[in-house]
Amino acid sequence: MPTSINPANGETFEEIAGHDDEHVQRVLENADRAYAQWRLTSFDERAVILRKVADILEAGQNKYGRLATLEMGKRLEEAKAEVKKCATVCRYYADHAAEFLSDKIHESDAEKTLVSYQPIGLVLAVMPWNYPFWQLFRFAAPNLMAGNVGILKHASNVPQCAMAIEEIFTEAGLPQGCFQTLLIGSSKIEALIDDERVKAVTLTGSEPAGAAVASQAAKQIKKAVLELGGSDAFIVMPSADIDAAIQTGIKARMQNNGQSCIAAKRFIVHEDVYDEVIDGFKQKFEAMTLGDPMDEGTDLGPLATKDIRDELAGQVDESVKDGATLVTGGKTPDRDGWFYPPTILAEIPKDAPAYMEEFFGPVALFFKVKNIDEAIEIANATTFGLSSAAFTKDGEEQKRFIRDLVAGGTFINRMTASDPRIPFGGVKHSGYGRELSAEGVHEFVNIKTVAIDSPAF
């Protein structure tokens, strides 16, 4: 049963009946009928609705932000910013989808040749709890503008966010069936992917979940886009602005209470500036206030669930047992809620969990290196490849990091961030495919070649 539990105190405040198989079939039928009409609408008609969605999000940012904070524990300030960002992506695609999806003229032996970008139908979105609005809207905005329709299977701990998203689209005037939420368990996903009315699937989540969804989609020869975990490197070299690197690195690690796939997690620091950087982190970490994410004075809220908190604590304890040095933190607070303190691990052995695994919470992992080659080697010594960041003012070092860091993105002298204007996604076990920008809207369309002799238009 989908359940809302306040991570700040562990109290259940809403239980919602899930959808049965009969309801699932009605949703699929509604989507199929809706697509037959929605695909024929113009970009201008779609854009009007997306702009109304943006208006609703902005007007309701406090309401929707509070809902996200209640269900998964992010600080209210961050939750409201997330809702505003969703409005931005809606307006971005309302403004640019027609350009991205317009016919492109090509040369061939035919008198007229073009590439046409056409919708494919119903796309299933399997979405996580950590950005309960943003993850969904960055899928929905481009796909609705492309003429597709969508079904959302959201994480079971954010059911009210899931229902609110469908209500937002309905309020904006999106035709019935074009976007629907299903409150179902993960065991129902396989049957949805197998259904012939579902043409593709996108998932943001864990590596095991991505592997399961991708393999099922492959059996049905359906397109899948995966955005999975990350253990992003944040490299600091001697030429960097060290104060900026420390400030940015702390923000990059602690965003969303440390629960972000693109959060900086592994801090790889040149030995010449290592002590200054780790001391700066330690000082800032120990000054942070843990507390109610609704309070303005809170620096760090709870983790989303007890299981997530306990898993993180276990990874830290096991890493220390294996020889890692606990610099600060590392002790679960004796209080209600799923809190974990800002923690730093250093001198991490290769066989410790902290060397290879993703730590999904407020734990910074430090590595000391002697040169750029060692920095790149450690940065790439992971199964993940979502993003990376490097702080250096040396032009040759910047070029090396851009060329040699194996990740879906490299950010120089700034933290990794998703932005509607630039493509987002990973390599290796962080997934495949891209979201956002023109690349994102092209993932779920039929890129159709058209060749005409004696063209009449």
Catalytic residue positions, numbered: 227, 261
**What distance in Å separates the CA atoms of residue 436 and residue 445, rounded to the nearest whole number?**
14
> What SS3 state is found at 203?
strand
Element (H, E) at 306: helix 306-321
395 exposure class (CB count in 10 Å sphere: 0-12, 13-18, 19+): exposed
Torsional class of 214: left (φ above 0), alpha (ψ -120 to 50), beta (otherwise): alpha
Q: Residue 233 is encoded by which pair of tokens?
A: 């490197």
DSSP letters along 59-87, please? HTHHHHHHHHHHHH---HHHHHHHHHHHH
For β-strands 232-236 and 264-270, DSSP reports them as parallel
b/e per residue 128-148 (b: at least 16 CB within 10 A): bbbbbbbbbbbbbbbbbbbbb
| Phi, psi for 203 (deg, rounded to 5) | -135, 135
Of 160, 181, 146, residue with least CA distance to 70: 160
